Each structure stands twice: as C-alpha cells, then as structure tokens.
Amino acid sequence: MTQDLIILIVSLIVIIIASEIFTNAIESLGSKLKFSEGVTGSIFAAVGTALPETMVPLVAIFAGNSAEISEEVGVGAILGAPLMLSTMAMFLVGCAVWVFRRRRRKTSVAPERTGLKRDLEFFLFVFSLAFLVAFTPSAWRLFRIFVAVVLVLSYFYYVLETVKASKKLVICGCATEESKDLYLSAIFKDHMVFVVIQLLIALGLIIAGAKGFVIGVEHLAAIIHIPVIALSLLIVPIATELPEKVNSITWIRHGKDTMAVGNITGAMVFQGSVLPAIGIFLTPWTTNLTVTASSVITLLAGGWIYLLVARKIKITPPLLLVNGVFYGLFVLIVVARL
C-alpha cells in the first residue's frame, strides 16, 4: 500500500513538471509556426497530451489477460475520457479561474468563442454518433465500419477547419505568444530543433508519469476491490487526463484562456472521434447501463457548455460548477451499482 502511494505521488509530480515543460514547448512551437492560440491549444496540445489515455485502451485491448475484461477496460477508458474532460476538467478550469482571479484580474474564462463553438459542435456530433452505433446489432459490421471511417474523416476535417480559421485569427491579434523563453534556450540557442526536442522530452515524461500513475491506481483498486468497470470509467480516466488538466490550469494562471479551454475541447474532439473509431474496429462495441449513463452525462455536460457559448453567456466559475455536478451524478450512479 505504501509503495503504491509513493508511486502515485512521484508520478503526479513528474506529470506536473512535464506539463510545465510541455506548455512552454507548445507555446514556442505555435509562435514559431505563426498559428493562432486555437490551433496551438485544440490540436497541438490536445493531441499531444491525449497520448497517455490513447495508450490505455489500446494496451487493454491488445495485451489484456481476459478478452471480456480487456474489452470492458478498453471501451470504458475510451468513453470515460470525454466524460472526465467535459465534466471534471471544465469544473477545474472554473476553480482555477477563481483561485487565480487576482493575478488574472477577471473572474470569468474568456476563450475565443468561434473556435470553442466549432470544437463543441464537432464533439457533440462525433461522440453522439459513436455512442448511438453501440446500439446497432453486431451483425451490422459493415455499417459500423462505415461509421468508424466517418469518425476518423470528421476529425481530419475538423483539423483542416481549425487551421483554416487560424489565418484570420492571427491577423486579428490571436496569434500564439510565448509566456517564457524556451527552457532549453538557456543552454542552447532558441531554434525549432530544440523546440521539438523539448516537446519530445516532455511527452516522454508525461507518458511515463501517466503510466506510473495508472499502475499505482490499479494496484490500489485491486487492494480495495474496485470492479473493473468502475476502474475503467472513473479511476483510469482521472489518471490519464491529468496532463490536460495541469496544462489547462497553467494556461489559466497565465491568462491564456483560449489555449486552456482549447486543450480540453480539442482533446474531446480527438477522443470522441479517433478513439471510438478504434474501439468500433477492435471490440464488439456494446453498451450497458453504466456506459450509457457515462455517455449521456458527457453529452449533457458538453451541451451545457455549448449552450453558454451559443447564447454568448459569460462563462464564470459558478456556471462551470454545473459540470462538476454532472460528474458527481455519474459517480453516484457507479457507486450505486457496485
């Protein structure tokens, strides 16, 4: 037990340090490539920090000891990640805005709204499609493969639209700016090669930290006898989503709201399209009451943020508290079924 707790603490420290190194490198990369904060947060940062949770379902599906357990963990991790991002991650953004309100000199989060609206529209579309296809008969294999292809193509279209919108945003003054000089520039000159090297170092540390965290959590779950479905839908996503949360909190502290929120919503699009497509290809992709509750709450939480954006309502910490309540509701559902 003590050893597992030490692993958890050390892994968390590694993730926090790596996330600071990662955000610094990502800002330098976006600045050098002259991309908007939307592209930097929603694509570069989102996909980069999505690597740890992308590995979890793949490892579970390919390397699991039991086919049934592997599929349960795989599907749970795939659908649990967007749940964490749309609920707890958004709630923590609200908390960060409140905690750093004096430094920020404002009590609301103000990301670039057109990009946020685009992220949420794509996410609600792809995640709804991925969720609904789970209710189709397993004999509809060709149709399911078609849906998986649509999900992947949707993500590539999303990337193209985001990059296309970036050009106008840069002209309007929303280009990515570095909060600090590249850390490696203290030793080497500030060059794109060293930006990439620092980025790779940070990603390696993030993956290592997330892996250590997951191992520690799994051992503790076994000790206290937590069911596999609870592990895959609650505990694993918390561990693997830490990079996004820490990155976003760092950007909130620096007042970079577009990158902070885009880091979350961009990851939601990626994990709501590409990962479910993998799940549809590699697993029976069926649902149960717990997974259904997870998906419905995810859509409600994402829909709530979309409503705020569409109606141009100022996004304040009390409004993001609703997303935390959604997560609490899901936890109650899981606990009730244990």
Instruction: Give the residue among 52, 333, 85, 83 at the shortest CA–CA distance from 217.
Output: 52
* Backbone dihedral region for residue 48 (phi beyond 0: left; psi -120 to 50: alpha; all else: beta): alpha
Residues 154, 32: Cα–Cα separation, whole Å: 28
pLDDT of amino acid 259: 83
Lowest-confidence segment of 91-95, 185-189, 293-297 by average pLDDT: 185-189
Burial 198-208 (b: 16+ CB within 10 A, else e): bbebbbebbbe
Task: Quick: pLDDT tens for 131-162.
Answer: 999 899 988 999 999 999 999 999 999 988 88
Task: Quick: pLDDT tens for 52-100.
Answer: 666 656 655 555 444 554 455 556 667 777 888 999 999 999 999 999 9
Residue 136 contacts residue 143 (beta carbons within 8 Å): yes
User: pTM value?
Assistant: 0.80
The answer to whether residue 260 scores a pLDDT higher than 60 is yes
Task: Quick: pLDDT tens for 154-186.
Answer: 999 998 888 887 766 655 555 555 556 777 877
Domains of the chain, each with CATH number or no CATH: 2-336 (1.20.1420.30)
Q: Which residues contact 4 (CB under 8 A, 6 or more apart)?
A: 216, 219, 220, 223
Q: Which residues contact 334 (CB under 8 A, 6 or more apart)?
A: 229, 230, 233, 234, 290
Q: What is the mean pLDDT of the chain?
A: 80
Residues 58, 240: Cα–Cα separation, whole Å: 13
